Structure formats: C-alpha cells, structure tokens
Structure 1
Amino acid sequence: MSTTQDMPTGESIQLESPDFLADPFGVYDHLRRNSPVHRATMSYIGNAELYVLARYHDCVDLTTDPRFRRVVEGAEPPPVPQAIRFLSTDSMIYKDDPEHLRLRNLVSRAFTPKAIATLTDRVEAVTSELLDGFRRGQQIELITDYALPIPVTVISEMVGVDESDRARFHDGMKLIIDGVTTYDLEALAAKFEDLIDFLRGVIDRRRAEPADDIMTGLIHASQDGDRLTDDELVAMVFLLISAGYETTYNLISNGVAALLTHPDQLELLITNPELIGSAVEEILRYTGTIGGTKPNYATEDVEWHGVHIPRGAMVVPLLASANRDPAVFDRPEVFDITRSPNYHIAFSKGPHFCLGANLARMETRIAIGNLIARFPDLTLAVDPSELQYVPVPLWRRLTRLPITLR
C-alpha cells in the first residue's frame, strides 16, 4: 500500500498491511478527507473485497439504512463447519430482525438489575483482591496480572462455570479469541466440538441446579412462551466470550496506557475521581479499541459519495475513524477526559448496539478507578515508544503493558 499521504483514491486498502497496522489513525484521517467510502480487503474474510466507511455520519446512517443487512440472499459468508457456526452465522450479531430482535429481547431478560448489581459487587471484590496482591515499587504486566483476570472471572461466573472447571473454560476463551489466527478451520472446528460439549454440560447443570447467574437467567428467559434453545444458549456463550472478554481487557489496558501517556489527564482523574465515568467514555472514543463492526451486506446497488457499491458487497463502518471525525468532535486528536458532549459510537448504534456495553463500561470504570486510587503514582515501566500493538486489523490490542506501582 502507498503511504497515507500519497495513497491513490481508488487504491484498495489491505487492512492487514504493515502500513495500515502501524498507523491506522493516519489512514483514517486520509480516508475521511479524501475517500470516505473506500475499497478494502482482509484475509480473515477470505480476501473478499469490502467497502469501508470513514466518516461519523455515514457510519451512523449505515446502522439504520434498510439497504444494508447482516444477511443477504446469495451474499452470505462462505460455509464453515457446524461447530464454527456458533461463533459466526448462528450468533445473534449475524442476524437481522425479526430473528435478531427475538434473540435480543430474550437475552436482555437475563441482564436484570439484580444480576448486574451482583456482577458489579464481584468486579469490586476481584479488583480489590488483585490489588491486595501487589505492592508499591513492584513492576507488573498490567494485561496479564490485572486487566485479563477481571473479565475472565466475570464471564466464568456469568456462565456458571464451577471453580474446578475454570482453567478448561479459560482455554476455551482463548480458543474463541485467537483460534482463527492459530488453526485452520477443520482443526479449529474439532477443538470447538470439545468446548461445545463442555458448555452443554454447564447448561444441563444450571437447568438442574438454578443459580443467581446470567446463565440461569438465559435458560429461563421467556417471552410469550418462547425460550432460547440449547444451540442458541451455546451461541450466546460464544458471543459473551468474544465480545465481553477481549473488548473489556483491551479497554482496561488501553485506558491505562492512554492515561499514563497523558499525565495531565491522569492527574486530573486522580484529583477528581468522580470523572471516571467521563474518562471511560473518552477512552472508548480515543483509543480505537473497537475499530469496526461485523460486515453488513448491500441488498441492492448503492451509490455513496460517488462510489458504486454492488449488491451483495460487504460494508464495514470504521468506528475508530468515526470517533475522530472533526465534523463531530472538537480537537478529536486530543485525549480529554472532561469531553462533553461525547457522542462516540465505539459500541456502534442502531439494532446491533452492543448488548454488553454497560457491563464493559462498569468493569473498566471499576478496574481503572480502583487501580489509580490504590497506586496513584503508577508509571509506565518502559518508554512510550516501546508500546506495540498486536497486528490484528480493526482492533487495538497492546502486546504488553509493563507498569511500576507507586
């Protein structure tokens, strides 16, 4: 790919190219100014051509435009083994209304105020326990020592996994997140079969022995006599893991990194801890943790900003680009934890707005708030220039974040 400065308007972007991965925000800026609807490719979806949207209002419009759907006859994703479908086409996020609305309504019934309050108490307890194990002057790897154990514990308890099975379930989490980049589809499907059998066992136990957890709520969720099938329950657990696990620990890690590389904002938050909610919203906007959504498909030929999008083509809104659009955000390149209003779309908009958004916000708010309250003088243990990101398109995931607790 050409550099950001001289990239021809019509040239397709390879979303896994070193240039893009090294500076996605520079590419986003170029696209917003010069080519707001642009062709791109990505090997994770078979190098099929897709179109990306770079401007805020276009990304928002896409979420409610009836010309774009998650499933279009003749334009479905390539067939995959049955076990993989729990992570792909069987997942709620790959469906359109009315089926999507049916699943969303049933699932939302499990996320009761009481269930969320219980999870909030558990996040407070887990973060306190982790922090109790640290000492001043100690260097820790924030991702593995702090950020990661929080969603691992929360999701394990949401799903109702017994303590003795946590290690196996954690391996399943890593398989869902990293399996596509580690194994071919047939090998991954075989490993998924074991995980699916394990989850069916968890469902059977919770059906026989109800508990005060999300899994029990999902099992018993009902609307006019309609309930989730066992396959739909398994698909929902896959979605909880893929959305709630990776998003949350990356959000915590990226948030701490943003604060440590903007010491004025860290000091402001330490002095005014009531700003933690606003700080989390700015972390969501600024860090680009969630770069885009699952593809939508054009149901007809569409002309958008002079670009012809053929029927059946995939279209992806670049959320991380939209969240730095100067047409919407004043000084978008500035990290400002007091930013108001902050109309970011890190969790998308419309029917597919992230169902777990409030849970991710809550975990991040508590994790970062408690960390800096306990160790207000914490610092990066490396030069900021040494921070690197995993080369995965449309995600911002640090490889490591060593910090010193003070």
Structure 2
Amino acid sequence: MSIPTTPVPEAPFTIGTPEFSADPLGHYAWLRENAPLARTELVYGPVSQPIWILSRYRDCRAMLTDPRLPRSPAGGAAIAAGLPEHLRLLSTESLIMKDDPEHKRLRTLVSKPFTPRMTAQLGERVRELANDRLDALTDRDVVDLRQDFALPIPYTVISEMVGVAEADRPRFQDGVAALLSDRSAEGWDEQVGDLITFTRDLVARKRSAPGDDILTGLIQAEQDGDRLTEDEVVAMVFTLVIAGYETTYNLITNAVVTLLDHPDQMTRLRQAPDDEGLWRSAIEEIVRFCGPVGGTKPATAAEDIDWDGRTIPAGSTVMPLLGSANRDPEAFDAPDRFDITRSPNHHLGFGYGAHFCLGANLARLEARIAVQALLTRSPRLSLAVPRDELVLEPMPLWTRYHELPVHLD
C-alpha cells in the first residue's frame, strides 16, 4: 500500500519572526484549528531552516515517543567528525541528542548521583539562597527580579552542584552566559571553547581530589562496569547548565509575572504558605500556562511517515510545539484560564517520554521555594513599570523576559 500524499499546508507565518513573537498564542490556535501538521521556517538569528510542526496535544505527545522520529539522524557520527569540538559536545555528545539504547545508558549513569539526600540538601540550600538574596535587596526601591533574584539562585546551585570553587565562578559564569547566548555573537566560539577547557580541567581535578558534588558523582557513576567518558561528562555538565539553570531562572521570572497578572491566585498562595500540595499544583500550572520552553530539540524523520493521512518525508526536521499543546482545548478545560488548582494537569512543559527534562524536579523545587520566599517576604510586591513595558527576548519558542522591574515593598 502506498503512503498517502495529501499535501501538508504551509503555515502563513515564520517561527522566530517579530510577527510570530507578537502573538504566539494566536498563531498556535490557528494551527490547531487549521493545520495541526504544517510546514514553515524556523528563524534563529541569521539562520533559517525548513521545519515541520505539530501543534495539537495528542500529536505532540505521540511524536515524543515515536521511534520513527529520532533525535540523532542517520550519519550522526560522520557529521560529528567534521564539527568543531564545542559543537560536537553540544550536539552529538549531549544526552538530549541521543536515542536509545545510548540515551538509556547515559540516563541510567547520570541519574545515579541524584540521591534523595542530595535533593533534600538542595531544598535547604535554595531556601537559604532565596532569603539571602532578599536580604541583599531590602533597601532598593526598584529591583530587577530576573537579574537580582531569579538568576543568582539557580546559578549558585548549579555551580555548587558541579563543584566550581568560589574563585573560579566568574570564569564559569562567563562561559555559561556565552553557552546560553546567540551562537552568532562575536567571540562565542572562543568563550564556549574556554568553558570546555575549564570543565575538562575541573574534571581532572575531581578525579584526583573527589568532592561531595554532582560532577564527582558523574565521574564515579558506574553500571555493570560501564562509566561515562570524559566527553560525556563534559557534555553532561552543559546539559545540567541548560536544564537546571536556564530553564529555572526563566521559570521563576515567568511565575512572578503570571501571579502578578492574576492577583486572586497570588492571594490564594499567600494564604496557604504551608500547603505544599497547593504550591506544587501552582508550579505545574505555571509551567503549563507560561513555561519558558515552547518547543523541544527537533527530531528527524527516519522514514516517510503517514501522519493522519499526510506524509512527513524521510529526512524532514520535525518539532512539537509544546506551548501550543499546553493550550489545546481538547486536552485542557478552559486552557486560557490560569488555575493553580487545576487537576489533572498533564502538561508537556518538561517534554514527555524518554527525553522528559532531566532537570524538571530541580526546576520545580527551586521555583517553588524561591517564589514562596518572595511572596512571604514581600506582601506588597508590585511591578515598577506598566505591564505592557515588559519585553520578551526574541528567542524562538521561548518565553523569556528581558527584565522584571518590581517594588518588593
């Protein structure tokens, strides 16, 4: 039987353009209604690539577990051989770009250092850091909550998790900032290259002088005689930075904006500071409603795929629009309503399946504790600028505010 050849519609917009970024929710709604599988372009800086997009919840969830849509295209090893070291580590060596059985092997090894004891210690440390930051900001009239509160907490946590000494943190932070910035920026290669050198040196030091940190745990992790290679350890540090740092500080920022936009929900949280169930539910709803990540790493069709009577050709780049899936009325009752008691809430804000975000629990923990501390310590928290002056950074499929000026008191 031949595969159906019903044409796949082209979306009337390009992802990553100012037009798209001005109204992503409106574009998502159009896609779900008119073209749940569509072709378009994805623009990031000077780079543009053709991409196939899925916008409905059921399609996005199905795609994330479909073995016909692997993260690593055929010939990945050959591609890696021609890449500079930093791009090779970020792409072909990264856990998030692996498929089973290699992905399962890495995930099993990487999960070993994340013990219940470590998680409990992290919670105590996040609470301490949040209160220390608020103490330091007490006398300021206007605070950029993103830069001065949301960002330092996960940055310090990830630095301590990796075992970066206090004196080395400025260099580490510069490298991390470069890693998370536009790859077309001047000096990007050199800065990320320096981060790789720094991380390799740190790995060497941890081998000779182990510490009580995640990096030492990664180096020592073993399963049936198997261990991570040095490249895999370095790539895992990068994955931790992206999953446990970038996502988290933007989640904290987005949480505050959303709660300020919904004062009734914020009041409800303030009135129940010790209701852990309500707070956990609130964080899940924040991830669904305004999570920072609106897409995943793209997959590549390993063969021609029949998707609801339309053909995705082999070799096509395919991406699920998680931000659209999380507003799908077929999956969520009144999806445009922000409800911190929403249940069930099977959002896709951290992905789904084998590639479910490795840093999800850490992001949830840090966001919950940081926002709890903020609302407890700042009962009159308010924006210091009109709401329409908050600017989103121009990053495709991300919800990241450039800054968040607030009055704490």
TM-score tier by shorter-chain length is over 0.9
Q: Is the 8 A contact 1:36 1:305 kept in 2?
A: no
Residue 370 of structure 1 is matched in structure 2 by: 373
Unaligned residue ranges in structure 1 (runs of 5+): 1-7
Instruction: Please say if residues 96 and 355 of structure 2, whose CA atoms lie closer than 8 Å, have aligned partners that are also in contact.
Output: yes
CA distance in 2, matches of 1:43, 1:403: 32
The one-letter amino acid paired with 1:236 is: M
Q: Over aligned residue pairs, what C-alpha RMSD do you find?
A: 1.8
Question: Could you say which residue in structure 2 is the equivalent of 1:338?
Answer: 341
1:55 equivalent to 2:81? Answer: no
Aligned pair 1:279/2:271, yes or no? no
Of 309, 312, 325, 1:309 maps to 312
Distance 2:11 2:332 in 1: 28
Matched residue SS, 1:315: strand
Counterparts of 1:242 and 1:198 in 2: how far apart (Å)? 17
- State how 1:289-304 maps to structure 2 within 5 Å: 289-304=292-307
Residue 148 of structure 1 corresponds to which residue in structure 2? 151
User: For 2:360 and 2:10, how far apart are their aligned partners in 1?
Assistant: 36
Alignment-derived partner of residue 391 in structure 1: 394
CA distance in 1, matches of 2:126, 2:140: 25
Partner of 1:3: none
The answer as to whether partners of 2:71 and 2:298 remain within 8 angstroms in 1 is yes
The answer to whether structure 1 residue 101 and structure 2 residue 104 are counterparts is yes
Identity %: 51
| CA distance, structure 1, for counterparts of residue 322 and residue 157 of structure 2 | 26
1:114 to 107, 110, 117: 117
Tell me the distance in 2 between the aligned counterparts of 1:380 and 1:250. 17
Measured in 1, the distance between the counterparts of 2:375 and 2:256 equals 9
Evaluate the alpha carbon distance shift between residue 382 and residue 230 of structure 1 in structure 2; reply closer, same or farther with a 3 A threshold: same
Asked if the contact 1:37/1:53 (under 8 Å) is kept, the reply is yes
How far apart are residue 223 of structure 1 and its match?
0.2
- Give the stretch that moved more between structures: 247-256 or 224-233: 224-233
1:73-95 deviations in Å (ceiling 9; x for gaps): 25897953222211112101111
Aligned match of 2:206: 206
Query: How far apart are 1:14 and its partner, in Å?
Result: 1.4
State whether residues 12 and 38 of structure 1, in contact with CA within 8 Å, keep that contact through their aligned partners in structure 2: no
User: Is 2:323 aligned against 1:320?
Assistant: yes
**C-alpha offsets along residues 157-199 of structure 1, whole Å, 9 cap, x if unaligned?**
011000000111000110100041414xxx5333322211111
CA distance in 2, matches of 1:160, 1:200: 13
Compute the displacement of 1:252 (Å): 0.2
Q: Which whole-Å CA distance do the structure 2 matches of 1:11 and 1:369 have between them?
A: 41
Residue 232 of structure 1 corresponds to which residue in structure 2? 232
Counterpart Cα distance in 2 of 1:139 and 1:31: 40
**The 10-residue stretch of structure 1 (39-48 or 138-147) with the greater mean CA deviation from structure 2:** 39-48
Deviations 1:307-343 (A, max 9, x none): 3210010110111110111001111001111111111
SS at match of 2:406: strand
State the Cα deviation string for residues 282-301 of structure 1 (Å, max 9, x = none). 11000041101001111111
Residue 137 of structure 1 and its aligned partner are, at CA, apart by 7.2
For residue 383 of structure 1, report the CA deviation from its aligned partner.
1.3
Of 237-246 and 154-163, deviating more is 237-246
For residues 150-299 of structure 1, the aligned pairs below 5 Å read 150-183=153-186, 187-273=187-273, 274=275, 275-299=278-302
Query: Could you say which residue in structure 1 is the equivalent of 2:5?
Result: none
Query: How many residue pairs get matched?
Result: 396
Residue 4 of structure 2 corresponds to which residue in structure 1?
none
**Preserved contact between residue 84 and residue 192 of structure 1 (Cα < 8 Å):** no
The amino acid across from 1:97 in the alignment is D
Match of 1:118, SS state, is helix
Distance in 2 separating the partners of 1:341 and 1:40 = 32
Deviation (angstroms), 1:9: 4.8
> What is the CA deviation profile of residues 32-88 of structure 1, one whole-angstrom value per residue up to 9, with x for unaligned ones?
111101112123494221111100011110111121111232589795322221111
| Mapping for residues 23-102 of structure 1, pairs under 5 Å | 23-44=23-44, 46-73=47-74, 80-102=83-105
Q: Report the CA distance shift for 1:123/1:323 in structure 2 as closer, same or farther (over 3 A).
A: same
